[in-house]
Structure 1
Amino acid sequence: MRPAEPADIPALVELCLAARSESTMGAQLCSDDGERLRDQLGALLASRGGQLLVALLDGEPVGLLLGQLVGPGPFTDLVSLNLEAIYVAPRARRRGLGHALMAGALEVAEAGGATEVYAAPLPGARGMQRFFVRLGFAPAAAHRVVSTSALQRRLVAETAGAQSRRGAGRGIEDLIARRRQVRAASRDAGVARTAQAAAGQRSRAAITMQVNRAVQTRRDSESSTTIS
């Protein structure tokens, strides 16, 4: 086992394609385009933190391990080694090459200051699941995944729903405001009617008083005439 070199990339492309054809979920493992795989492996080899180990049998590449040192970052000071893929060709298995690749990954992790090693084997890859369990890997926090097309549809729907709810909220607010205006207008009209009624009562009281005075004045006048 040793770190991969640029000259190893063609052989590693063949190993990736073999791993893809062997897996029942190969489409999730890697591309079936050799040229694209070559570019991706070259980019990983050249990237900061990128790790690409190769296992040899009689000098021939028969296994690989792809990983990435991650961290520290804005939300953590920890460094971890994330294993993206580990594969050994069928003819080279049961020779300890998988363990040799993991030993190499451990050296990479320790050299990079990583305190944890993460692996995400594909669902249904029972052999790989058992391999990691034997090495002490335990379940970590659950990940969630969504396709970009599904995410786009959901975001559009959520945005439209939020706008509809805001529109409904504005409609309710407008209805409440109109009801308040109607109640205020009713109160004002009631106050005005009360004021008009009071004014009418005062006016009628004044008229009645004037009439009473006039009648009393006439009576007083008639009485004076009779006496004289």
Structure 2
Amino acid sequence: MHVRHATSSDLEDLVDLCLEARAESGVGRQLCSDDRERLRAQLSVLGSMDDGVVLVATCDGEPAGLALCRLMGPGLLSDEVVLSLDAVFVRPGSRRRGLGHAMLHAAAEVAEAAGATDVYAAPLPGSRGMQRFLARLGFAPAAAHRVVSTTALHRRLAGDAPAPGRRTNPRGLEDLIARRRRARARAAAGDDEAVVRHAGASMSMQVSRAVHSRRPSSSSTTTS
């Protein structure tokens, strides 16, 4: 097993590995293109960039895995440099031989040499094996990524937009909450009044029973 930085002679093997990874993934479109020419161009650009890192793993001299990384920062919002691990893939027949660990070790060395403070990874949704692999190596959750197609976003934005001529009230939610609180307060006050009325009626009934049940006092007689 061997891990090294990719060269131009590895380009076609890298394209094959990317397409194989896409076919295995349930959300291949988010991983990479299925167009060989486009993939070839993208990998060439990544490999030629100063902050691009393309690692290839071989097993018995045959290409068996790849790792695609980018050094990022410092930027407008952070002074730190980080290594973004965009993709890691090992062919099924070469798994459980330590290739993944070897590629992450090489990536960590790149990060250390560049002064990167952290290594970020964004495994695809549903890739439980990769999630467990990264967790064992100490990767902790940092953020939740969400994706939507441009068409769907436009459609939802159009559906959420207010109708023409309809005025929007930025305090609508606060007003609704206040109205509900007042309604609950009135209901609670009404319950208290009902309890008082019930208690008063109960007391009146008890007094009435006491009056009706009282025996009239008999007149006393004296005998001489």
User: Normalized per residue, which structure has more helix?
Assistant: 1
Q: Is the 8 A contact 2:55 2:68 kept in 1?
A: yes
Among candidates 92, 96, 99, match of residue 97 of structure 1 = 99
CA–CA distance in structure 2, aligned partners of residues 167 and 123 of structure 1: 37
Deviates more, 1:26-35 or 1:87-96: 26-35
2:145 to 124, 139, 143: 143
1:161 matched to 2:162? The reply is yes
Secondary structure, counterpart of 2:162 in structure 1: helix
Partner of 1:161, secondary structure, is coil
- 2:17 alignment counterpart: 15
Normalized against structure 1, the TM-score is what? Answer: 0.67
Question: When the two structures are superposed, what TM-score results if normalisation uses the length of structure 2?
Answer: 0.68
> Aligned-pair distance for 1:111?
1.2
CA 1:25–1:164: 2 relative to 1, 3 Å: same
Distance of 1:114 and 1:89 partners within structure 2: 28
Q: Which protein shows a greater Rg?
A: 1
What is the Cα deviation at residue 156 of structure 1? 4.7
What amino acid sits opposite 2:70 in the alignment? Q
| Identity across the alignment (%) | 62
Cα distance, 1:163 vs. partner? 6.4
The residue aligned with 2:81 is 79
Measured against aligned partners, the alpha-carbon deviations of 1:33-59 in whole angstroms (never above 9, x if no partner) come to 111111111111112311110001122
Deviation digits for residues 19-77 of structure 1 (CA, Å, limit 9, x no counterpart): 11122222322121111111111111112311110001122221100011111001110
Q: Which amino acid aligns with 2:145?
A: H
Q: How does 1:57-206 map to 2 (within 5 A)?
A: 57-156=59-158, 161=162, 164-165=165-166
Query: Which residue pairs with 1:197 in the alignment?
Result: none
Q: Name structure 2 gaps, 5 residues minimum.
A: 170-224
Q: Give the AA of the match of 1:27.
A: R
Give the counterpart letter for 2:69 in structure 1.
G
| In 2: Cα distance, 1:77 partner to 1:161 partner | 41
- Tell me the distance in 1 between the aligned counterparts of 2:165 and 2:54: 51
Report which stretch shifted further, 138-147 or 52-61: 138-147
Question: Match of 2:105, SS?
Answer: helix
Alignment of 1:217-228 (within 5 A): none
Aligned with 2:23: secondary structure?
helix
Q: Unaligned 5+ residue runs, structure 1?
A: 169-228
Work out which of the residue numbers 54, 57, 62 in structure 1 matches 2:56.
54
